[in-house]
Structure 1
């Protein structure tokens, strides 16, 4: 199975959202089938075959997640991030300000789904191959 260290090595190559599809391919090759990242501190739970899972440590001090979700603001910030105009931490701060609590990535379906604090789907995106 994979380790958090292997995943972190792959993640070190990600500088902007434009690098995300390559990162997904790299961790998929490690055996990751899904993961869930929490915006408040960027800790992530990774899932593999046969109910295998591991958790990463928080990556920064906790952010306050806005109680009211602003989907339009979030989508505008996501677009900037995907164009390579913001770094990861800036994107996480933007998510928090827009009320995004977490995202879940399904590497079999190649989707990334963003959720608010009430666990409502805000956006489901297909991940480019």
Structure 2
């Protein structure tokens, strides 16, 4: 199944905070997305589907500087606040950058979200609810 950036944008438009994230993931799975990676520096994302299908979305905000050192304690606190609906997407991305998180990946088959530092090292793996 081939999905489009327009379909993904429509699904993402329903997300008002991190609390809406589980429904967003279900929408993406329904579209046929099996994996995606989002780069904190500018918000661009590459989405992957079956049979090596992939599309990339353009940057969504001005470039953020990723902190050279990762502060996992602060990041976990900010992530929890985001998941509880206390921050919007842009705030969360800025929090990631300040905490040294350079990208995250979503694996729909493993149902995991993995956060990485600037060197590509796994910093945190979370199970996707739902």
TM-score range (shorter-chain normalised) is: over 0.9
Q: Which runs of 4+ in 1 moved over 6 A?
A: none
TM-score, normalised via structure 1 length:
0.99
Match of 1:17 in 2: 18
Which residue of 2 is the match for residue 43 of structure 1? 44
Q: Paired residue for 1:113?
A: 114
Structure 2 counterparts to residues 29-68 of structure 1, below 5 A: 29-68=30-69
Query: Gapped runs of 5+ residues in structure 2?
Result: none
Once residues 22 and 116 of structure 1 are traced to their aligned partners in structure 2, the CA distance between those partners, rounded to angstroms, is 27
The residue aligned with 1:126 is 127
Gaps of 5+ in 1: none
Count of paired positions:
129
Query: The residue matched to 1:100 in structure 2 has which SS?
Result: coil
Matching of residue 93 in structure 1 with residue 94 in structure 2 = yes
Pairwise CA distance, 1:75: 0.3
Once the 2 structures are TM-superposed, how far is the Cα of residue 67 of structure 1 from its aligned partner? Answer: 0.5
SS at match of 1:25: helix
C-alpha displacement of 1:88: 0.3
Aligned with 2:19: secondary structure?
Answer: helix
CA RMSD of aligned residues (A): 0.4
